[in-house]
Amino acid sequence: MLYVELLAQGLVQGSIYALVAVGLTLVYGLLRILHVAHAGLFTLGGYIGVLVTNATGSLFLALIVSMMVVGVLGMAIYRLCYQPILDKPPYVALIASIGLFIAMEEIYRIVFGPYGISYQNPPLQSSVEILGLSLRMGEVAVGGGTLVLIGALALFSTKTRFGTVWRATVTDPDMAESFGVDIIKVRYLNFFIGSALAAVAGVMVALLNNLVEPTMGSVPSYKALAIIVLGGLGDVRGTLLAALALGVIEAFGTIYLGNYLDRDAIAFAFLILVLMVRPQGLFGRA
Amino acid sequence: MSKLLEVSNLRVQFGGVVAIDDVSFSLAAGEILGFIGPNGAGKTTMMRAVTGVVTPTTGSIRLKGEELIGHTIHQRVRRGLGFSQQLVKPFRNMTVLENVALAAGAHHTASPVSALFRIRREDQKDRAKDLLEQVGISDAAEADPSNLPLGYLKRLEVARALALDPELLILDEPLAGLNHAEAHTLADMVLDLNKAGQSIILIEHNLGEVMRICSRLVVQDNGHKIADGDPETVMSDAKVRTAYLGEVVDDAAA
Amino acid sequence: MLGLSGYEISLITSMGIAVIFALSLNLITGFCGQISLGHAAFYGIGAYSSAMLTKAGMPLAMGMIGAVVLAGAIGIVVGFASLRVRHDFLAITTMGVGFLFLGVMRQWDFVGGEMGVSGIPGSGLGKPGFMILVLGLVVVTVLFSLHLKRSWMGFSFDAIADDEDTARVIGLDVSRYKLAAFAMGTALAGLAGALYAHNVRFIDPESFGFVESITVLAMVVIGGIGSVFGVIFAAAVLSVLPLWIQFIDEYKLLLYGGLLFAMMRFSPGGLAGIAQKLSSRKAVKVPGGGSA
């Protein structure tokens, strides 16, 4: 039973990782930027989720508002922060992004206070029994929500014209541009969708912990980087699998290796181990 | 076996696509060889195999009888290859002169440890000045390459390759993007280099200049070698005309 | 002594250690162009090595040599590992090394686990004497950095930092140069770590975390990647600014973050880049006169 419980825990954690990492890998595929500030958008998503829920009592409305606001802010970050420095060496955007992320965390601390905020009436706290496992509704919502969103994303990107163009552009931006794709439009869409997904993850984590803190994005910020590398940078399917795999490995690892390494160290030991054997990532092509 | 470069039965495959299929050619010391073919013929792939960017599936590439396959790019350079790349890539954090001087100091940079204990750059700078003079861009010696027109950068690529004192100089489309007069001047310079004893492979689109300066042509199409010989014979070959000029005829008809 | 108060002496000592640490990263990131997001791990390896060696009764010099050797050796191992991965992966791999170091140190009882190591022997030179030792090592580090920049190794690093593929085309063994940069930079970080350990005399894993790695990167980037004097200036100022002006400590991270972002967004050359722009109004003649 312990195994099944650990597996379920790992998959829930992995779903959160997946929602954050998808946006990151999309940005990498398109612009070759390691968009660390993405985790700051994740945190903001959590804040907006809690604030709007507390003000209106509707978690659903909070989710929509959070996705919209964070999505637009993601586009603004692209336009104001990244676009002007795209022609500089890659470290320029990376360091700018790290700086932006640190500043965002500090702004949340100053604006919302260092101790974080919680739901007044935490939604989805009841438990359900599924296959003999007792899960919180929140956990079920995280797993189910991720499945629905990623499914929708998959449908959009394979079944619609714009989705096909988008996928082609993420895979090979230069090629797509030479076919006459409006690459700027694709970038905006890309940042909007990626950021909105991070906002959902933020709202969900707020739900699971009933707490949003300024530093809530710290762990996802570096963990998601590890995940997109494992997934083979820029590869969405690989990223999803890597996110779930890492969630599960951490869940088991903390039980069996906890005496030697903490959770973060397990994740990165796994990353370094994988890179030594497969330098192109777990699912990346050589 | 007095061949300088000998490519035999080379095959390059990406996934299911065969980019180069069983191509052999060679180059004698002191020769200037034009390597030509229509767009998508696999010229660039062939050169990438020689430089070491692409690993061939089968076949061999020998320089002075020594196998190059299995060696990295910098090892091939140290064995006597010099490349001027199709896309100009000057080091933008140094002047034009320094770009060439660094290449001229190849014996100083062979090992990081010895490089740490050497400081004097005057001899290499002098040599670099001579080379810039030779390619005709000495007026730009102290300029930042980011501000230079393409014609200068193309010649900087050539000067930097020459600074390595290569046994074999490989020029990948040095004339592309230049206007008629610029191309003519640079082609003259390449010919002068050859007359001074430099062995050269010239990969080019500009057929007029290739015909003018090369003593021999190899034509590749669709990954196959379709002709090899002196320019006039090659260009009157029926296969070459259909493969190569066929495009032109189609264009004219359209 | 020297007319300096005890407070000023400890301020100058911390500044000096920060300068050595920042210059050590400058060798890797500034000169060779390799981004490291886990440099604090090597600072930590140096600190722990020297602390454990001197606590075991070794003299200070042995502790420092041990710190340099161990940090450099692990740096070479990490360097080898990072050569296997693609360019973009390096920042993430080094970040992973940083977290791995923290994770191991937190759980390893031999080095005190979460509690850290306390009661580390002082230098035995007194505060002013230790300050002079640190300043002496700063001078050596600065001279070495300046020499390196002028040498053919520095020349080759310039090429590698700008364009690895083209560096190979002019015959540079890029991997060996990168390893050399890693070895030197991490060994020097180990030295700075040893000095830190004997200065504060208490260390725990949290002193060498991700924030420390970012802080030292901030010093290099804000000073101006590759510029020795820019980095010295930024390291000196950023290391003591929070101590001088109390309210800044509260906003220290906002300041770092904001500066990092603003510097990259508006002047990727850092303070050195700004200084250069201001001083050299000499227009470079563009021959050919055509469009670039």
* B252: three-class secondary structure by DSSP: helix
Q: Report the residue of chain A nearest C162, measured CA to CA.
A: A89
Test C262 with A95 for CB contact under 8 angstroms: no
| Alpha-carbon gap: C162 to the closest alpha carbon of chain B (Å) | 6
- pLDDT, residue C287, reads 45
Per residue in B44-56, pLDDT (tens digit) is: 888 889 988 888 9
In a domain, B103, yes or no: no
In a domain, A259, yes or no: no
In a domain, B42, yes or no: yes
- pLDDT, residue A3, reads 82
Provide the greatest CA pair distance for chain C.
70
Token digits for C178? 């990168």
- How many degrees, rounded to 5, is the angle at CA C47 between CA C44 and CA C52? 125
- pLDDT, residue C84, reads 76
In a domain, A172, yes or no: yes
Token digits for B165? 């004192």
In a domain, B114, yes or no: no
Domain of A139?
16-216
Test C286 with B139 for CB contact under 8 angstroms: no
In a domain, A263, yes or no: no
Q: Sort strands B224-229 and B216-221 into parallel, antiparallel or unpaired.
A: antiparallel
| Alpha-carbon gap: A243 to the closest alpha carbon of chain C (Å) | 16
Number of domains in chain A: 1
Q: Alpha-carbon distance B8 to A180, whole Å?
A: 41
Query: Which of B94, B142, B149 is facing C288, going by the closest CB pair?
Result: B149
Q: Alpha-carbon distance A10 to A248, whole Å?
A: 4
Q: Which of C199, C245, C156 is nearest to C17 (CA)?
A: C199
Q: Which of A34-38, B83-87, B199-203, C201-205 has the weakest average pLDDT?
A: B83-87
- pLDDT, residue B19, reads 86
- pLDDT, residue B95, reads 95
In this structure, what DSSP letter does residue B214 have?
-
Q: Alpha-carbon distance B76 to B170, whole Å?
A: 12
Q: Which helix (H) or strand (E) holds B228?
A: strand B224-229
In this structure, what DSSP letter does residue A160 have?
S
Structural domains of chain C ordered from first start: 6-209 (1.10.3470.10)
Residues in contact with A63: Cβ distance below 8 Å, sequence separation at least 6, in sequence order: A49, A200, A203
For residues B109 and C202, the answer to whether their CB atoms sit within 8 Å is: no
Q: Alpha-carbon distance C51 to C55, whole Å?
A: 6
Domain of B37?
3-90+165-253
In a domain, A88, yes or no: yes
- HSE-CB at A69 with a 13 A cutoff on CA atoms is 20
For residues C72 and C183, the answer to whether their CB atoms sit within 8 Å is: yes
| pLDDT > 60? residue B237 | yes
Q: How confident is the model at residue B11 (pLDDT cuts 50, 70, 90)?
A: very high
In a domain, B158, yes or no: no
Per residue in B88-140, pLDDT (tens digit) is: 899 998 999 999 999 999 989 999 999 999 999 999 999 999 999 988 899 99
In a domain, B39, yes or no: yes
Test C171 with B106 for CB contact under 8 angstroms: yes
In a domain, B59, yes or no: yes
Position C5, amino acid:
S
For residues A214 and A43, the answer to whether their CB atoms sit within 8 Å is: yes
| pLDDT > 90? residue A164 | no
Residues B179, B180, B186, B187: what is their CA dihedral angle, to the nearest 10 degrees? 140
Contact partners of B by the rule of 3+ C-beta pairs under 8 A? C
Which residues of chain C neighbour B151 with C-beta distances below 8 Å?
A: 288, 290
Residues in contact with A33: Cβ distance below 8 Å, sequence separation at least 6, in sequence order: A27, A82, A90, A93, A94, A97
For residues C175 and C182, the answer to whether their CB atoms sit within 8 Å is: no
Sheet with B168-172: list strands edge to edge: B81-84, B168-172, B199-203, B32-36, B216-221, B224-229
| pLDDT > 90? residue A57 | no
Token digits for B116? 């740490």
* B191: three-class secondary structure by DSSP: helix
Enumerate residues 209 to 228 of chain C having a beta carbon within 8 A of any beta carbon in chain B: none
- pLDDT, residue A157, reads 80
- HSE-CB at C257 with a 13 A cutoff on CA atoms is 19
Residues B102, B107, B113, B114: what is their CA dihedral angle, to the nearest 10 degrees? -110
For residues B32 and B214, the answer to whether their CB atoms sit within 8 Å is: yes
* B37: three-class secondary structure by DSSP: coil
| pLDDT > 70? residue B161 | yes
Query: Which of C29, C93, C259 is facing A99, going by the closest CB pair?
Result: C259
Test B115 with C161 for CB contact under 8 angstroms: no
Kindly give the residue spans of alpha helices, DSSP state H, lying in chain A: 2-31, 38-56, 59-77, 90-112, 137-159, 161-171, 173-178, 183-209, 218-230, 236-256, 263-277
Test B115 with C155 for CB contact under 8 angstroms: yes
Q: Alpha-carbon distance A9 to B52, whole Å?
A: 48
| pLDDT > 80? residue A280 | no
What percent of chain A stands above pLDDT 70? 98
| pLDDT > 90? residue A72 | yes
Kindly give the residue spans of alpha helices, DSSP state H, lying in chain C: 6-25, 40-55, 60-84, 89-107, 126-150, 152-162, 164-169, 174-200, 210-223, 228-244, 246-266, 270-279
Residues in contact with B242: Cβ distance below 8 Å, sequence separation at least 6, in sequence order: none
Q: Which of A105, A77, A72 is nearest to A93 (CA)?
A: A77
| Alpha-carbon gap: C157 to the closest alpha carbon of chain B (Å) | 10
For residues C286 and B143, the answer to whether their CB atoms sit within 8 Å is: yes
pTM higher than 0.95, yes or no? no
Per-residue buried b or exposed e for A72-94, using 16+ beta carbons within 10 Å of the residue's own CB? ebbbebbeebbeebeeebbbbbb
Token digits for B7? 């490519």
Token digits for A8? 């379920």
Kindly report the backbone phi and psi dihedral angles of residue C226, in degrees, each rounded to the nearest multiple of 5, phi listed first: 90, -15
What is the CATH number for B249? 3.40.50.300
Q: Alpha-carbon distance B15 to B27, whole Å?
A: 30
Q: Does C268 touch chain B (CB under 8 A)?
A: no
In this structure, what DSSP letter does residue B219 have?
E
Position C23, amino acid:
L
* Mean pLDDT in residue range B12-29: 87
| pLDDT > 60? residue B249 | no
Q: Report the residue of chain C nearest B122, measured CA to CA.
A: C152
- pLDDT, residue C290, reads 37
In this structure, what DSSP letter does residue C31 have?
I
Q: Does C87 touch chain B (CB under 8 A)?
A: no
Number of domains in chain B: 1
Per residue in A166-196, pLDDT (tens digit) is: 888 877 777 777 777 788 888 898 899 999 9
In a domain, B38, yes or no: yes
Q: What is the mean pLDDT of chain B?
A: 88
Residue-by-residue pLDDT tens, chain C, 292 positions: 567 888 889 999 999 999 999 999 999 999 998 888 899 999 999 999 999 999 999 999 999 999 999 999 999 988 887 787 767 678 888 888 999 999 889 888 888 888 899 989 888 888 899 999 999 999 999 999 999 999 999 999 999 999 888 999 999 999 999 999 999 999 999 999 999 999 999 999 999 988 899 889 989 988 998 899 999 999 998 888 777 766 766 787 888 888 889 988 998 888 888 888 888 754 444 444 333 3
| pLDDT > 80? residue A270 | yes
Q: Which of C21, C130, C132, C98 is nearest to C67 (CA)?
A: C21
Test C288 with B51 for CB contact under 8 angstroms: no
* Mean pLDDT in residue range A265-281: 82
Token digits for C130? 């230790």
Q: Does C76 touch chain B (CB under 8 A)?
A: no
Q: Does B144 touch chain C (CB under 8 A)?
A: yes
Per residue in A189-218, pLDDT (tens digit) is: 889 999 999 999 999 889 888 889 998 888
| pLDDT > 60? residue A133 | yes
Q: Alpha-carbon distance B144 to C12, whole Å?
A: 39
Q: Which helix (H) or strand (E) holds B14?
A: strand B3-14
* A38: three-class secondary structure by DSSP: helix
Q: Alpha-carbon distance C30 to C133, whole Å?
A: 26
* B211: three-class secondary structure by DSSP: helix
Residues in contact with A273: Cβ distance below 8 Å, sequence separation at least 6, in sequence order: none
Residues in contact with A219: Cβ distance below 8 Å, sequence separation at least 6, in sequence order: A264
* Mean pLDDT in residue range B185-194: 92
In a domain, B143, yes or no: no
What residues pair up with B225 in beta bridges, in sequence order?
Answer: B220
